[in-house]
Amino acid sequence: MNKKYKRILLKLSGESLMGTSKFGITPEMLTHYAMQIKNIVDNGVQVAVVIGGGNIFRGLQADRSGIERVQGDYMGMLATVINGLALQSSLEKVGIYTRLMSAIAMDKVAEPYIRRRAIRHLQKGRVVIFVAGTGNPFFTTDSAAALRANEINADVILKGTRVDGVYTADPEKDPNATKYDNISFDEVIREGLNIMDMTAFTMCQENKMPIIVFDINEPKNLHRIVQGESVGTLVM
């Protein structure tokens, strides 16, 4: 396979693991993502993953629960560890070697995040799953994805969503919304488009880290992207 991208960071939301459920993790979605990742790993692509925890708990839910924001953010980080363990198990079932690396020390279930070790794992063909966000409250998993992608010198961040790219408006609400094939960082800011939180987005802009927003639910999209096909929306 001709590869345009040799090392990618795949950003998945926690909600993507819910499938048609309203909460938690569905085995079908885990298998779906595991097979997509296996396909590109088998073709020599180095894959890192950052996964959210919104299917279990969001730090921003804390206010409504009467939980302090900082405490809520840590609860959200722990939710990403649960999702990371689930994805790790699914990947290993299909024969992919993995490493779970946590920004919060929990040596019984994950390695501590060490940049050089993470890069070495990738070079050996292991899928590295980064969990617990940045290890700090007030930062989203988008920020963790941007940070880790830059630290490991990824070629691109692939943000898997349920829509097939970036639109002028929410396509699920506005039937007249049109899709961008390519858009610059400056245009995204000027148009007020919501791709990532501003901390994450600014980090990508400053470090010239391209972002591709695409429909992760389409089984062949990940394979097509690493081959260099135009899928979703490229932000650069």
26-42 per-position pLDDT tens digit: 889 999 999 999 999 99
Give residue 11's domain range. Answer: 7-235
User: Is residue 43 domain-resident?
Assistant: yes
User: What is the C-alpha to C-alpha distance for residues 30 and 38, in angstroms, rounded to an integer?
Assistant: 12
User: Is residue 76 domain-resident?
Assistant: yes
User: What is the C-alpha to C-alpha distance for residues 174 and 40, in angstroms, rounded to an integer?
Assistant: 34
CATH code where residue 55 lies: 3.40.1160.10
User: Is residue 216 domain-resident?
Assistant: yes
201, 185 contact by CB (below 8 A)? yes
Bridge partners (DSSP) of residue 156 are 8
Q: Regarding beta strands 156-161 and 98-102, do their DSSP bridges make them parallel or antiparallel, or are they unpaired?
A: unpaired
158, 8 contact by CB (below 8 A)? yes
User: Is residue 2 domain-resident?
Assistant: no
User: Is residue 209 domain-resident?
Assistant: yes
Instruction: Report the number of distinct structural domains present in the chain.
Output: 1
| Amino acid 176: pLDDT | 85
The CA-atom distances, in angstroms, between 153 and each of 52, 109, 136, 149, 203 are 21, 26, 22, 6, 13
35, 74 contact by CB (below 8 A)? no
123, 46 contact by CB (below 8 A)? yes
User: Is residue 33 domain-resident?
Assistant: yes
User: Is residue 212 domain-resident?
Assistant: yes
User: Is residue 229 domain-resident?
Assistant: yes
pLDDT by residue for the chain (236 residues), tens only, comes to 567 899 999 999 888 888 777 788 888 999 999 999 999 999 999 999 999 988 888 655 656 778 888 888 899 999 999 999 999 999 999 999 999 999 999 999 999 999 999 999 999 999 999 999 999 999 999 999 999 999 999 999 999 888 888 888 877 788 888 888 999 999 988 888 888 888 999 999 999 999 999 998 888 899 999 988 989 899 98
Of 82, 100, 101, nearest to 91 by C-alpha is 100
